[in-house]
Amino acid sequence: MTSPSQSAGTAAPASAGPVDPALIEDLVAASRILAAEGILDGYGHVSVRHPSHPERYLMSRSLAPALVSASDILELDLDSNPVDGRGRTLFRERFIHGTIYRARPDVQAVVHSHSPTVIPFGITDVPLKPTFHMAAFLYAGVPVYEIREESGFTNMLVDDNARGRALAATLGDKPVALMRGHGNVVVGPTLPHAVFRAIYTEVNARQQTVAMAIAQGGPVKYLAPEEGDIITNKKPGDIGRAWQLWKSKVMGPP
């Protein structure tokens, strides 16, 4: 899951310029929040698109998410080449992020995780569906990326742009895609939004597991598509309230 920081024989891409330290701080916070909330463990990563230049994004060097600091953040192009690698090891699956930024102009942040209660939904025929309003963003469906379709038997990693494009194609216009036998990818229009979605996808998975267990074959009343659409697209909730809490827990009070 790590690779040297320079593609053989390619000049490094140019930087899109400095980024507001507040955004770097939020990216560091996002990484630590996702670890603290049990979405990421030693593995997984979060990135944010460069605010001034859509063809660059920011991500940590290869490091456990809980340990990320501002000095670990690098800038990459959408082919996931680093601007200034300095020999630092990169995440092998950074291609998940670059290909999604290319495919999805609406997306400003991407999370890749092995979120534990979500993984079972990617290896069964059970579709992940919203149990409650906080996970309404799941309403339009959660596609499953099956890596064998394009790549046959592999090491299960999206560790090049071809696989990244296949995953982005599966994701389509959705906020979440599961990766069979691996984990999931979650996207959002802002960094706090992507973090919120990553956390509430896991919460939803836990609730759906319990609902299916107690229903014992009986009906489970998931959110109606109309409800999901209203909440997600017309009357969104307040992400900031949770972001403030999560950030204060990992970064200390402002």
What lies within 8 Å, CB to CB, of 4 at 6+ separation is 85, 87, 89, 90
Q: Does 209 bind a copy of itself (CB under 8 A)?
A: yes
Q: Given 37, 93, 149, 202, which residue is catalytic?
A: 93
Chain positions 72 to 91 lying near a copy of itself, rule: CB under 8 A, are none
Quote the CA–CA distance of 175 and 113 in Å, as a whole number.
14
State in angstroms the smallest separation of the CB of 51 from a copy of itself.
25
| Cβ nearer to a copy of itself, comparing 103 with 140 | 140
| Residue of 232, 248, 230 lying closest to 240 (CA atoms) | 248
User: 196: exposed, middle or buried (C-beta count within 10 Å: 0-12, 13-18, 19+)?
Assistant: buried
- Choice from 64, 83, 169, 251 touching a copy of itself (CB under 8 A): 64
Task: Provide CB contacts within 8 A for 118, sequence distance 6+.
Answer: 128, 178, 183, 184, 201, 202, 205
Q: Is 170 in the site for a copy of itself (CB under 8 A)?
A: no
- CA-based nearest residue to 5, from 103, 108, 75: 75
Interface region with a copy of itself, contact rule CB under 8 A, candidates 16-24, 25-33, 160-168, 221-229: 221-229
- Per DSSP bridges, beta strands 144-145 and 176-179 are parallel
Contacts (CB under 8 A) with a copy of itself, residues 119-148: 119-121, 123-126, 130-134, 136, 148
Restricted to residues 230-249, the positions that interact with a copy of itself (CB under 8 A) are: 230-231, 234-235, 237-238, 241-246, 248
Q: Which two tokens stand for residue 97?
A: 């992020």
93 is catalytic: yes
Q: Is 11 in the site for a copy of itself (CB under 8 A)?
A: no
Q: Is residue 180 at the binding interface for a copy of itself, with CB under 8 A as the rule?
A: yes
| Nearest-approach distance from CB 75 to a copy of itself, in angstroms | 21
Distance of CA 133 to the CA centre of its chain: 20
Least spacing, CB of residue 18 vs a copy of itself, in Å: 28
**Residue closer to a copy of itself (CB basis): 65 or 85:** 65
Please state, in angstroms and rounded to a whole number, the distance separating the CA atoms of residues 226 and 130.
12
- The residue range among 26-34, 99-107, 168-176, 208-216 that interacts with a copy of itself, by the rule CB under 8 A, is 208-216
Radius of gyration over every alpha carbon of the chain, rounded to an integer in angstroms: 18
Residue with Cβ nearer a copy of itself (103 or 232): 232
Active site residues: 93
